[in-house]
């Protein structure tokens, strides 16, 4: 599994704090989710730079259902974080 660096961890914490659940339910996010479908650029599903923020109940539902459509959202969040200097080298 790819390493979760301190920088990625800080990104996750900031994303949770700044986000409502990606599903659109309107609740404050409580955790990050690694989308079940990989973005073409991401290499491995557990790439910690590709995440979306969710409320934990919606997160449980996604995993129970076994599919989601959040790969593009995760890539968009990552691109924004890189442009803001929060991810990348
Ligand atoms: Zn939700
Ligand atoms: Zn998840």
- pLDDT tens track for 40-81: 988 888 899 999 999 999 999 999 999 999 999 999 999 999
What ranges in the chain are assigned the alpha helix state H? 6-18, 56-65, 71-83
**Residue 88: per-residue pLDDT:** 84
**pTM recorded for the entire structure:** 0.92
Round to whole Å and give the CA distance between 6 and 24. Answer: 29
| CA of residue 70 to ligand 1 center, whole Å | 12
Model confidence band, residue 16 (pLDDT cutoffs 50, 70, 90): very high
pLDDT the model gives residue 2: 77
As a whole number of angstroms, the distance between CA 54 and CA 65 comes to 15
For ligand 2, the distance from its centroid to the CA atom of residue 32, given in whole angstroms, is 7
What is the DSSP code (8-state) at residue 31? E
Query: How far apart are the CA of 44 and the centre of ligand 2, in A?
Result: 14
Contact 4, 36 (CB under 8 A): no
Write down the pLDDT at residue 3.
85
Region 21-47: mean pLDDT is: 93
Tell me which of 45 and 31 has the higher pLDDT.
31
Ligand nearest to the CA of 52: 2
Query: What's the token pair of residue 39?
Result: 């973005």
What is the structure's pLDDT at 21?
98
Domain boundaries, the chain: 6-83
The closest ligand to the CA of 62 turns out to be 2
Whole-number mean pLDDT of the chain?
A: 94
């Amino acid at each position: 599994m790819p390493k979760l660096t301190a920088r990625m961890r800080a990104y996750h914490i900031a994303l949770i704090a700044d986000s409502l659940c990606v599903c659109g339910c309107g609740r404050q996010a409580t955790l990050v989710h690694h989308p079940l479908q990989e973005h073409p650029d991401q290499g491995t599903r557990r790439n910690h730079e590709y995440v979306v923020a969710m409320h934990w109940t919606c997160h449980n539902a996604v995993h129970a259902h076994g599919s989601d459509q959040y790969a593009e959202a995760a890539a968009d969040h990552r691109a924004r974080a890189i442009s803001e200097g929060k991810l990348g080298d």
